[in-house]
Structure 1
Amino acid sequence: MNVDKILAISGKPGLYELKIQTRTGFVAESLLDGKKVTVGLRNNVSLLSEISMYSVSGEKPLSEVMRSIAKKENEGPALSPKSDNAELLSYFGEVFPDFDQDRVYPSDIKKVLSWYNILQAKGMVSKEEPVAAEAPKAEEAAVVEEKPVKAKKAKTEETAEAPKPKAKTKKKE
């Protein structure tokens, strides 16, 4: 499940897919109805890949919680978020037994189930872990970090050996 470009925008229902970043914000497409909206930098926007849920042992990324829902439901739709709170808590306890019941509220569970159902309807949920996709990114990041370091060393050696001559200015007559 790849939620790197999926957004939750406060004040707007549903989820959005990031399409284009602009100088003043970005353009996102609604996963509910396909309409494109422009979002300014002042709006409160959260990437789903950055959201975690409280557990007794720490925090668990939302993508892992959704993956466990997909495993339980065999990639089918989850429990309706409109169910009563007791049913939501027992269902979420089956899916994520380690969740912190003091800090995870029924409203949070409703939101997670709603988001899962939106992603499931679009075919964006998976019970497999994305292992192969993460390994090349780590290697690419290491390569990118090495290039600027070499370039900086080369520049400092050149400048230490031979200083650049100053540009001559012409006097006006």
Structure 2
Amino acid sequence: MSSRVGFRFVNNARFAFRNASAPFRRPGAQSFRWQSSEAGAAEQQSAFQRLWNSPVGMKTVHFWAPVMKWCLVIAGISDFARPAEKLSLTQNAALMGTGAIWTRWCLIIKPRNILLAAVNFFLGCVGAVQVTRIFMWQRNQSDSSIEAAKVIEHEAVDSVKATAEAAEGTVKKAVEKST
């Protein structure tokens, strides 16, 4: 509350220098207001002018940051076509975390930036999809490696059995020759 009083004091002091009688006005008189002329002007502006002059309008970083950040989302979507073994888990986990954190932040800050919140939400979704693909690929690889180990074990056992049978046959032939 004290910052508002200080700001009013500065505005009134500026007005006092222009109008020498301002400090001596009667109690209850209207003070100098900056917003009275802006309110009428806002009603007369076109939709483009309101967008242009908005706190999150086209001439601010609040508009251009989300526009540029869509490139990250598009790059993530294009990675859906890449095989999961070529994707980076740390990079996609970072995209997922960044998207989640900044989506929340964009809804808290003033002015609330819905464009930036939307792009961060989709960035988090793309990261989550990629991380899920990577984990499913890794799980599939561990399952297939267990199956591969079982196949190798069976082949080794079959090979040892065949070798043992061959050795047994050779020993039987040697015993028959010697008798």
TM-score by shorter chain over 0.5: no
Indicate the structure (1 or 2) with the bigger Cα radius of gyration: 2
Task: Identify which of structures 1 and 2 has the higher relative contact order when contacts are C-alpha pairs closer than 8 Å and 6+ apart.
Answer: 1
Task: Give the TM-score, by structure 2 length.
Answer: 0.27
Structure with the bigger percentage of strand = 1
Structure with the bigger percentage of helix = 2
Task: Give the TM-score, by structure 1 length.
Answer: 0.28
